[in-house]
Structure 1
Amino acid sequence: MLDQLLQLVRDNAQDAVVANPAVPNDQNEAVIGEATKTVATGLQDALASGNLKDVMGLFNSNGQVDNSNPVVNNISGNLIGNLQEKFNLNGGTAASIAGSLIPAVLGSLVKKTNDPNDNGFSLDGIFSSLTGGSTQGLNLGGLLGKFAGGLDKDGDGDVDLNDLTSMISNGAKQQQSGGGLGGLLGGLFGK
């Protein structure tokens, strides 16, 4: 997946990096590589920290990336810091690169993932790669549909611990009868 992600970054880096006079030409590939690593690490960290709702929300966007999504903000912020630290770019230049590159790359990733005619990316493949294979065998497309369909079980406008408790309780009942959401969540969290 990293090679495919690198290609997405390259495809979107022409204006933000390659044609940017603030980025020396001999550093273009290194900046593109750093952006690729930052996107992959940002998605991986979001999953590892339990930020599944925002990651799934990103992939449910049909390619229209919501810049207020915490995952997008974290990846952009990390890239800004990395560009300043590793390439000695000033804050404005680093913010400009991250502000145009990250939404474009994530938008392309989401579009390719959601395109049934493009088998280069799949939601299952991305999550499996990011989690070291721990989501293998899960129907993440179905899980995404559940997020889109509303996991807000208590109707308070958010998905929180109360909703998760309700889902696990109902899932445990379903699991006793052979599967259900409890089994799915158990597999997702390694239990």
Structure 2
Amino acid sequence: MSDIQVMALVGSLRAASVNRQLAELAAEHAPDGVTVTIYDGLGDLPFYNEDLDTADAPASVVAVRAAAAAADAVLVFTPEYNGSIPGVLKNAIDWLSRPFGMGALKGKPLGVVGYAHGQYGGVWAHDETRKSFGIAGSQVVESIKLSIPGTAFDGKHPRESAEVVESVRAAVDTLVASVADPVG
């Protein structure tokens, strides 16, 4: 399989976010023929409002939907905020799930990974994110499970951990395999 486009969504808007660093690792270590592109416009999306969801939807909504439609798969990198999904990510799910039953991610393979400060690495947020994207129509790849706890880096960049680099690479490989074999 070649020329696979993976959209990376990062649930933290902070420039130095560890989840963003993990997404950058995915882009840097993607296999040949795979491009991982970090979508940078989540912070520009207005709160979901059905009154705005018209033929004249805001440009930021049109852009995220177009990027999602152009992707073959999506890899979500999310922290855990108060035991759940960051608001910016939930808002993106709401926009991408419309129009109901025909959203931009309908049927597309999607994986959820990430880092969070707690000892469980954001497991609750990852589970909630999988659930929400699944309800929104994505084909959630349940075998992709990478929850990195806050103690993993000791202040170092994630690329300094060969284990983390390999785990992120494996998540991308699994997601790409699901594009090639969506049933398997």
TM-score greater than 0.5 by the shorter chain: no
Q: TM-score, normalised by structure 1?
A: 0.26
Over alpha carbons, which structure has the higher Rg? Answer: 1
Quick check: which one's helix share is greater? 1
More strand by percentage: 2
Give me the TM-score of the superposition, normalised by structure 2.
Answer: 0.27
Higher relative contact order (CA closer than 8 Å, sequence separation 6+):
2
